[in-house]
Amino acid sequence: MLLYALAVAGGAMAYVPFLTILLPVRVEAMADGAHVSWLAYCAFVGAIAASLANIGFGWLSDRTQNRGGWIAAGLLLSCTLLVSMPMATGLTALMALLVAWQVSLNMMLAPLAAMAGDFVPDRQKGTLGGFLSFAPALGAASGALVTLPGLASADVRLVVVAALVALCVLPVLLFGRPRPFPELMQPVARQEVAEDPRPRRIVVRMWLARLLVQIAEAALFAYLYIWLRSISGAIGDNHAALVFGVVLFLAVPATLVVGRWADRANRPILPLAICASVTGLALLGMASAPDLRLALLAYGLFGLASSIFLALHTAQTLRVLPRPQHRGRDLGLFNLTNTVPSLVMPGLTLAMVPVFGFAGLFVVLAVLVGLASLLLFTMPRPD
């Protein structure tokens, strides 16, 4: 499980530094003042490519029953394409490389996500969620590392990122020897699922709950700095990055504790419902914060609760998927909750902020997250 968590952290390192820092810097240098529109095009096309590739390679890893082979191929191709980004000299070439990179990256990520469902029993899913909380923290830390002044040039930074990813993902392929759990791989016929609608309803509720929380998460990820600057012009980008990083690292021990409790108490969904409720309350606190200190406290609570929610939700989703033989494909469909919010969030923000300010946006997001909490509190317990 530790090697697997390290590999998932490597997956985060593959895209967090590149999409949040290295790609925008490269686009700004190439676009001659049109970098905002360039980045919008890249984000839109990349999100669509990632969504389709994740579903497709998840399905292929189900059919071939060879997760490791797809992970290794995706690792090799994505690292190769990442270090090839300097070859792009125009928007069309950059977008073509970006799409190819997203496809190859999800060739690795989709079967990697399904691997946990193959080898981690349900009684340890909460603990797995705790270990998965390392991924966003280490992804953010890798971005800070590769951008240290004087460490590497823009092109060499891509090589450093690729090396970090390989160092994290290869150990689970080379040294991971998971104990088989035949019950986790027992096929379930379509007729069995059709006769009992309860598992499908649970999956739908889990999908909707994550989508609603991810919309709020995407909005804060994109506009945290701008919101803080609207409260106090004295805050700089380094302050916002520090707050974001501290919250991610505090979430790691908290998620480990909560996930372990969920396993011992056999209450896999209750922590998710509580974290969604706390996330909604924190958004209301952010909407009404009168000064920077209270705004940061409210955001810290939001970041902590939502980070715990997302890590545990990822693990518990593996428990509720009804057909193990289609685990990779179904996780690809769940991955849409990560990519769709990036397409929804800009329109929602443009509709709310100019009229009602960030306070109005946060109230709407609090309502959405409150609906997620209600879906989970009223959901029947999975077997």
Asked whether residue 206 is assigned to any structural domain, the reply reads yes
Asked whether residue 181 is assigned to any structural domain, the reply reads no
Residues in the chain: 383
Asked whether residue 349 is assigned to any structural domain, the reply reads yes
Asked whether residue 276 is assigned to any structural domain, the reply reads yes
Q: Which of 335, 343, 374, 371 is nearest to 212 (CA)?
A: 371
Alpha-carbon gap, residue 96 to 42, rounded angstroms: 10
What's the per-residue H, E or C state across 14-62?
HHHHHHHHHHHHHHHHHHCCCHHHHHHHHHHHHHHHHHHHHHHHHHHHH
Asked whether residue 105 is assigned to any structural domain, the reply reads yes
Say yes or no: 166 and 210 in one domain.
no
Q: Which residue has the tokens 């697997």?
A: 4
Asked whether residue 119 is assigned to any structural domain, the reply reads yes
Q: What is the pLDDT of residue 228?
A: 81
Say yes or no: 132 and 239 in one domain.
no
Say yes or no: 238 and 269 in one domain.
yes
Say yes or no: 26 and 140 in one domain.
yes
Say yes or no: 44 and 111 in one domain.
yes
Note down pLDDT in tens along the chain; length 383 residues. Answer: 899 999 999 999 999 888 878 888 788 777 676 666 777 788 788 889 999 999 999 999 999 989 999 999 999 999 999 999 999 888 888 889 999 999 999 999 999 999 999 888 888 999 999 999 999 889 888 888 888 888 888 889 999 999 999 999 999 999 988 777 777 777 776 666 656 677 888 999 999 999 999 999 888 876 777 788 788 777 765 666 678 778 888 999 999 999 999 999 999 999 999 999 999 999 999 999 888 889 989 999 999 999 999 999 999 999 888 888 889 999 999 999 988 887 787 778 778 888 888 899 999 999 999 999 999 999 987 76
Q: What is the pLDDT of residue 293?
A: 87
Say yes or no: 36 and 162 in one domain.
yes
Q: What is the pLDDT of residue 284?
A: 96
Say yes or no: 135 and 197 in one domain.
no
Q: What is the pLDDT of residue 383?
A: 64
Q: What is the pLDDT of residue 146?
A: 87
The number of distinct structural domains making up the chain is 2
Cα–chain-centroid distance for residue 368?
19
Say yes or no: 103 and 219 in one domain.
no
Q: What is the pLDDT of residue 35?
A: 65
Q: What is the pLDDT of residue 241?
A: 67
Q: Domain range for residue 222?
A: 192-377
Say yes or no: 151 and 238 in one domain.
no
Say yes or no: 268 and 365 in one domain.
yes
Say yes or no: 84 and 148 in one domain.
yes
What's the per-residue H, E or C state across 73-110?
HHHHHHHHHHHCHHHCCCHHHHHHHHHHHHHHHHHHHH
Indicate the residue among 148, 174, 200 that finishes a domain: 174
Instruction: Give the long-range contacts of residues 192-200, CB within 8 A, separation 24 or more.
Output: 193/322, 193/323, 198/380, 199/320, 199/322, 199/382, 200/322
Asked whether residue 180 is assigned to any structural domain, the reply reads no
Say yes or no: 127 and 216 in one domain.
no
289: domain CATH number?
Answer: 1.20.1250.20
Asked whether residue 320 is assigned to any structural domain, the reply reads yes
Instruction: Note the pTM of the prediction, 2 decimals.
Output: 0.88
